[in-house]
Amino acid sequence: MKLLIIITDNKQKNDYKALFPNEMLYTLQFYIATDLERSEVIHQCISESDAAIVDVSTSEESQWHMFFESIVTRDYFAPYPVLFVLKDVENFDYNCTQHAMIDFIKPPLMQKELELKLRLFNQNRNTLQQCLDLNSTALQAVANAVAITNPNGKIIWVNHAFTKLTGYEKEEVIGNFPRILKSDKQNSMEYERLWKTIKNGEVWQGELINRRKNGTEYIDEMTITPLLHDDSNTISHFVAIKKDITARKMHEKQYNADIELAKAGAKGRLK
């Protein structure tokens, strides 16, 4: 397990190293808490680690808040264990993502307690990963395009059908917003109604004219469903199911035109 350790200052580095056996030292990555103010550093260190120990006992709220935001942008189907070292658990807001495995430990750290926490983390992560892998496989297999975003609308996961529909690869849309597909043919009022509906925790269904990576436009039939945290009933993610109905709309238009033409011809024969 590659372990990320966020500390307040370099003086703590040796204290943490003393808690791990020598064979694990090469798997440890240390960052100073002030580095959490730089989002690009956070994204990199999270993506290169399997779990994190975050010592927030003396750091500012803004520092670990950005760390939370970075966890949310991880792959939806990749659980990320985080062990927070802090003195006051009751006043600590950690409701960031349902797939972050959160636990706490109070200072001073004891080697046996830390070993037990990390062992349980590893066991639980493997169990949760098996469940998430099953869900991911099921969503990858569906014919419709699926995109999952965080509460701010930033894309954190898409399936293969999404890349086929839009022409964008997974790496191009993760961390981006759905407006990357926006065309200039859609009324802005519709986007406002959409966002207002899902932010209220309600399901939105409708059609939008979107644009692929190659510039071609298509009619996108969508259903966007908010997912709620079980404990707080706040929105944790949005799931969008998308389908290209351009061909169907063209057939409907042609069918209606043929009907009108036939009616006009019938009226002419009656005269």
- Maximum mean pLDDT: which of 10-19, 33-42, 72-81, 102-111: 10-19
Selection from 209, 167, 216, 218 nearest residue 191 by Cα: 209
> DSSP letters of the chain?
--EEEEESSTHHHHHHHTTS-GGGGGGEEEEEGGGGG-HHHHHHHHHT-SEEEEE-SSS-HHHHHHHHHHHHTS-TTS-EEEEEE-S-STT----S-TTEEEEEEPSSP-HHHHHHHHHHHHHHHHHHHHHHHHHHHHHHHSSSEEEEE-TTS-EEEE-HHHHHHH---HHHHTTS-GGGGB-TTS-HHHHHHHHHHHHTT--EEEEEEEE-TTS-EEEEEEEEEEEE-TTT--EEEEEEEEEE-HHHHHHHHHHHHHHHHHHHHHHHHH-
* Reported confidence tier of residue 134, pLDDT bands at 50, 70, 90: low
Domains of the chain, residue spans = 3-138, 142-252
pLDDT at residue 145, as a whole number: 92
For 3-138, give the CATH class: alpha beta
User: Pick the residue with more confidence: 97 or 3?
Assistant: 3
* Reported confidence tier of residue 230, pLDDT bands at 50, 70, 90: low
Q: Can you name the CATH fold of 142-252?
A: Beta-Lactamase (3.30.450)
pLDDT, average across residues 200-217 = 94
Q: In what order do the strands lie in the sheet with 204-211?
A: 155-158, 145-149, 235-244, 217-228, 204-211
pLDDT digits (tens, 9 = 90+) for 33-52: 776 665 566 667 777 777 77
User: Pick the residue with more confidence: 217 or 94?
Assistant: 217
pLDDT at residue 217, as a whole number: 95
Answer whether residue 96 shows pLDDT above 50.
Answer: no
pLDDT at residue 77, as a whole number: 59
* Reported confidence tier of residue 132, pLDDT bands at 50, 70, 90: low
* Reported confidence tier of residue 220, pLDDT bands at 50, 70, 90: very high
* Reported confidence tier of residue 240, pLDDT bands at 50, 70, 90: very high
pLDDT digits (tens, 9 = 90+) for 155-187: 888 999 999 999 999 889 988 899 999 998 888
pLDDT at residue 143, as a whole number: 86
Answer whether residue 72 shows pLDDT above 60.
Answer: no
User: Pick the residue with more confidence: 257 or 69?
Assistant: 257
Q: For the chain, what percent of residues have pLDDT higher than 70? A: 71
